[in-house]
Amino acid sequence: MSEYVIEMLNITKEFPGIKANDNITLQLKHGEVHALLGENGAGKSTLMSVLFGLYQPEAGVIKKDGKEVKINNPNDANALHIGMVHQHFKLVEIFTVLDNIILGAEPNKMGFLKKAEARKKVLELSEKYGLQVDPDAKIEDISVGMQQRVEILKMLYRDNEILIFDEPTAVLTPQEIDELMEIMRNFTKEGKSILFITHKLNEIMAVADRCTVLRKGKYMGTVDIKNTTKEELSRMMVGRDVKFEVDKEPQKLGDVVLDVQHVTVPSKLHSNNAVKDVSFQVRAGEIVCLAGIEGNGQTQFVYALTGLDKMSHGKITMLGHDITRAKIRERSKLGMSHIPEDRHKHGLVLDFTLEQNLVLQRYWQPEFQKYGFIKNAEVRKYAERLIRENDIRSGQGPITTVRSMSGGNQQKAIVAREIDKNPELLVAVQPTRGLDVGAIEGVHKQLVAQRDAGKAVLLVSLELEEVMSVPDRILVMYEGEIVGEFDPKKTTVQELGLYMAGAKNMYRDVEKKGGAEA
C-alpha cells in the first residue's frame, strides 16, 4: 500500500483569463491532518473542486492508494470515500438532522425508508466521536456549530476515510473551535485522513501535521509543521513578511460622532429584547470595538444603528442629527458606511458585475449619473481604480459577475467600496471574516487609517486577536447588554472572556441578576 491515501499530482486547471491551478501537487498521508494554506483566490477551492470531479483538470493525475483514478463527478469522489464539509453548509433547512444526514444515502427496503436503522447508526457515530446532535431537531432551529456537526456526521455516515474541511472555523466560537480541533485529532487516531483548508495560522500550528501552501495558483511547497513557524508560513503564503501587530498613531480624540442612548431592539425569535438599553459614544479619531460571542445582540444592534431594522426604545444621534428614524439613504448621506456581517445577504448583489457592486452605495451620486442615466464610463473608471488600489482579484476585472469571485475578494470589494465613501462613521461588522492574513493586515490598516484621519470607527468583531489589537476601546456585549468597557492595553483575553461568557458584569452583580430583572 502506498504511503499516501490521496495524491493530486501536477494538477493544472485554467479558467477564462486565469490559471487557477498551475502545476499543483498535494499528497495526503494516511492518518494525518494536512493543512492547505493559501490566500483568497490562491486556488484552494478550485483544487478541491477538481478532487470532487466538479472540474476536469487540463493536466495532472489523481491517485488513490497509489492507483490512478478518474473522478468525473461528486458521486465518484463519494465512492472513493472522500467527503467534504463545505464552508457554506449544504443542508436542507426544513429537514431534521437525521434526514439531512441520510439524504442521498437513504437506507430503504423496496423504496420504503428504514429510518430506525439510520438513526441507530447516526447515534452510534455521534457517541463514538463526541458529536452531540439531536437527530429530530430541524436544521433551521440549531446553532451553526451544531449544523457543522451534522455535516461531519454526514461524512462519517457515508464511511468516508478522507475528510475535507473547508474553512470550518470561520463560523465557530472560540470554544467550538477547540472542540473541533479535538474531534479532528480523534479522527486521525482512527486512521482517517484530514485535509484542512484554512488561512488561520494558529489553527494550523495547533492541529496540522503537514501543510501545503499555494500562492496565486502556484505550488509553494509542503512543510512539516514541527519544523516551521507562523511567520514562515505566512511568508510562503503571501510572499512577504506580514505584521501581526497593528501600528497606530497616538490618538487625537475629536468630537462625538455617534451617540447611542438607551437603545432597545425587540427580538424576532423570542419575546425578550435582543438589545437591552445600550448606550455609548464613539468619537472622531477612535476605534471602538463591540466584542462578544456570536448571537449576543450585536447583529440586531447593528441593524438598528444602520437602519436595516427598527428599534423599540432609545435614540441615536450622529454628528448632531437625530437619526433614530432616518432612512438608510439619509444615514449614508450623513457619512455612515456599513460593512455588513453577511456579505451575500446584504453586502453584494451576486448576479451584478463587480463594477455594478462597487457603485452600489454611490450610483445615485452626480459623479455616476446624469438625469437618471448611469455614466458607464465613469463607473468603469471608478471600478478600475478601486480594483487596482485594493488588489481585488477576479477573472474578468470590472465585468466579472461577483458570484464567480472568491469569498475573500468579494469581501475586499465591499471593504473598498465602504471605505472609499470616505465616511465620518464606519460601521465594520466582522470586516475580516473569511480573509487571509495578508488581506486582514490590509483591512486593519485601512481601519486605522480612518481613525488616524480623524474619523470614527465602530468595529464589531468575534475574533479575539482582532479585538485585542485594533481598537482603542472595547465594549463587551452579553445577552443584549453592554457588560463592560476595557482598554485593550490594560486588559487580557482571559478577563474579556469572563465578561463575554456572562460570568462578570461591570455594572451590576451577576449573582443577583435574576432578582434585579424581576
Partner 1 sequence: MKKGLISILSSVISILIGLLFGLILLLIVNPAQAFPKFGEMLTAGFSSAPKLAKVLYQAAPLIMTGLAVAFAFKTGLFNIVASGQYTVGAFTALACAIIFQMPWWVCLIASMIAGAVWGFFPGLFKSLFNVNEVITSIMFNWIGMMAVNLLCMNLKNAAGLNVMLPTAWVSSPIKDRTAALSYANPNAMIPKMGLDKLFNSNFMNISIFIAIVVAVIMWVILNRTTFGYELKACGFNKNASIYAGINAKRNIVLSMVIAGALAGLGGGIYYLAGTAEYTIQKLLLPMGFNGISVALLATSNPIGTIFSALFISYIQVGGESLQPVFAKEMIDIIIAVIIYLSAFALLTKTILSKYIRLDKSNVNAEPASAAPVKPDVKPTLKESEGEKA
What DSSP element (H or E) covers 48? helix 44-51
CB atoms within 10 A of CB 463: 16
Closest distance to partner 1 from the beta carbon of 318 (Å): 15
Which residues from 211-270 bind partner 1, rule CB under 8 A? none
Which residues from 65-124 bind partner 1, rule CB under 8 A? none
363 forms part of the interface with partner 1 (CB under 8 A): yes
Q: Which of 94, 253, 328, 516 binds partner 1 (CB under 8 A)?
A: 328
Q: Which of 216, 246, 352, 498 binds partner 1 (CB under 8 A)?
A: 352
456-461 and 425-429 as β-strands: parallel, antiparallel, unpaired?
A: parallel
373 forms part of the interface with partner 1 (CB under 8 A): yes
361 forms part of the interface with partner 1 (CB under 8 A): yes
Comparing CB distances to partner 1, the nearer of 15 and 244 is 15
Length of the chain: 518
358 forms part of the interface with partner 1 (CB under 8 A): no
What is the per-residue binding string for partner 1 in 393-432, x denoting contact by CB under 8 A?
---x------------------------------------
The residue whose grid cell reads 464606519 is: 426
Judging by beta carbons within 10 Å of its beta carbon (0-12, 13-18, 19+), is residue 369 exposed, middle or buried? middle
Q: Residue by residue, what is the 3-state secondary structure of 231-282?
A: HHHHHHHHCCCCCCCCCCCCCCCCCEEEEEEEEEEECCCCCCEEEEEEEEEE
Which residues from 124-183 bind partner 1, rule CB under 8 A? none
Q: Which of 63, 82, 65 is nearest to 73 (CA)?
A: 82
**Rounded to whole angstroms, what are the CA distances from 455 to 22, 389, 426, 432, 469?**
43, 21, 8, 20, 18
300 forms part of the interface with partner 1 (CB under 8 A): no
The residue whose grid cell reads 476601546 is: 473
What is the per-residue binding string for partner 1 in 304-323, x denoting contact by CB under 8 A?
--x-x---------------
d(C-alpha 266, C-alpha 445), whole Å: 35
Q: Which of 348, 405, 419, 474 binds partner 1 (CB under 8 A)?
A: 348
Q: Which of 3, 56, 79, 422 binds partner 1 (CB under 8 A)?
A: 56
Name every residue whose Cβ is closer than 8 Å to that of residue 303 and which is 6 or more positions away in sequence.
265, 309
Binding range to partner 1, per CB under 8 A, among 146-154, 332-340, 446-454, 477-485: 332-340
367 forms part of the interface with partner 1 (CB under 8 A): no
Closest distance to partner 1 from the beta carbon of 317 (Å): 20
15 forms part of the interface with partner 1 (CB under 8 A): yes
Closest distance to partner 1 from the beta carbon of 351 (Å): 4
Binding range to partner 1, per CB under 8 A, among 176-184, 205-213, 360-368, 490-498: 360-368
**Rounded to whole angstroms, what are the CA distances from 330 to 149, 321, 325?**
43, 11, 10
Q: Which of 94, 113, 349, 516 binds partner 1 (CB under 8 A)?
A: 349
Name every residue whose Cβ is closer than 8 Å to that of residue 71 and which is 6 or more positions away in sequence.
50, 51, 52, 53, 62, 77, 80
Residues found near partner 1 in the complex (CB under 8 A) = 14-17, 56, 58, 306, 308, 327-329, 331-332, 338, 340, 345-352, 356, 360-361, 363-364, 369, 372-374, 376, 396
